Amino acid sequence: MSLRLYNTLSRTKEDFAPLDPKNVRMYVCGPTVYDYAHIGNARPAIVFDVLFRLLRHLYGAGHVTYVRNITDVDDKINARAAERGISIRELTEETWRIYNDDVSALGCLPPSVTPRATEHIPEMIAMIETLIAGGHAYAAEGHVLFDVSSKADYGKLARRSLDDMIAGARVDVAPYKKGAMDFVLWKPSETGTPGWDSPWGRGRPGWHIECSAMAGKYLGETFDIHGGGIDLVFPHHENEVAQSECAHHGHPLARVWMHNGFLNVEGEKMSKSLGNFVTIREHLPANDAFGGRSWDGVTLRLAMLRSHYRQPIDWTVSGLVQAETILKRWKGVFRIVAVPRDSNESPPDAFLSALRDDLNIPRAVAEMHALADKGRHGDFDAAKGLYQAGKLLGINWDDVLSPQSASEVAQAVAALGDEDGSIAAAIAARKEARKAKNFAEADRIRDELLAQGIILKDGPDGTTWEIKR
């Protein structure tokens, strides 16, 4: 089966054929390093890490180039550094280090290249000069703006007309702009803010030109995949498409555009005003800011992968409990069946088939449940398949121990019950959901337990469970 990916540009699933199978190229928009990354930022980091791993598996680890940038020049950075009374460089170095530590804790591999915007100003200036020379940009009062009217198909990625975009966007009104939707490529820098000399005076780049210039330097005028969150489709990715195509004689920037869905927290949009804004770091060990406890990175990773990447995800404590339960049951298999840890064998075909189908990770996880069920009954090949499948998803099996004796195997079988109380916790969460008439959440908990091979039975004396045979 070929790899099929959903392309936001065409709104269809397409067979993926890289421009060069010996150098498959992917760019994903990275963080703006002014504060701790929130849990929503973890989703693209994890989703595109899985895609990176899959591409490496299919084409070879040495034949995939993954670029994820760092935006380290931005008005939010300037404001936060001033607020804290530290230098901009000090702030961006500290925040970048924390982001890198956090996504590493989530099991994400380092990208092939991690370019900083501030180290690529000459490339941005050169691209802006090309756009001006081609009649696609103009200088005005120390600014340089992209002329949207020069791009007849502007809006093709977002699938929105110019009038719709004007109505739905927060348009900056300025007397020097020719058109309402014209966007900034370069702007003047005030005293005390970062700035670089340019043909238009001392200034700094706009956000959109940064990604186009860095992607072009490391991946070429046209590359295979551009990824990011669904919130970036417009205006960021739309503007990347426009300026890059105009600078590169109409050549497309990326052949496939991929976007992950939104993340809500306990059923509501995450926001500081609602008090449900949580960072990646607040979830990790040594912190107890989500659900009154901390969670290990692999639990966070699996919880993030339980929904298809293009669909919205509701980030809940009960969902984390379910992910934790799944991992404990999977790891229990390796206390029954010893598998080689240094094998580079391919995961089972059914698991790979799910991933090849537009990263259908929920289906892939269902295949892992089936493997675990066989492994619990001593099936060596199934246990080995479970181990290899987990490795490809980025699951860290380092704390898994092999059985050493018959008594240890017996203990492992017993541990597949509910010694840690996690199934009971899930049942309690389902009870609370039903009490609150949140039947969708109650059904989700029941279905996730069923996917693990756990059948719930509701009776007059409460809910009991048993393992499906």
What are the residue boundaries of the structural domains of the chain, listed by start?
Answer: 4-260, 315-462
Q: Name the DSSP class of 270.
A: -
Q: Name the DSSP class of 312.
A: -
Quote the pLDDT of residue 456: 86
Quote the pLDDT of residue 418: 56
> Cα dihedral angle (402, 404, 407, 408), rounded to 10 degrees?
-20
Distance CA 74, CA 77 (A): 5
User: pTM to 2 decimals?
Assistant: 0.85
Q: Name the DSSP class of 346.
A: P
What stretches in the chain show pLDDT beneath 70? 1, 162-173, 401-422, 451-453, 466-469
Distance CA 288, CA 294 (A): 5
Quote the pLDDT of residue 1: 65
Q: Does domain 4-260 have CATH number 3.40.50.620?
A: yes
Six token digits for residue 222: 């046209």
CB atoms within 10 A of CB 176: 12
Q: List 5's β-bridge partners, or say none.
A: 14
In terms of DSSP H, where are the helices of 60-161? 75-84, 88-105, 121-133
Residue 6 has φ and ψ, to the nearest 5°, of -80, 125
CB atoms within 10 A of CB 447: 11
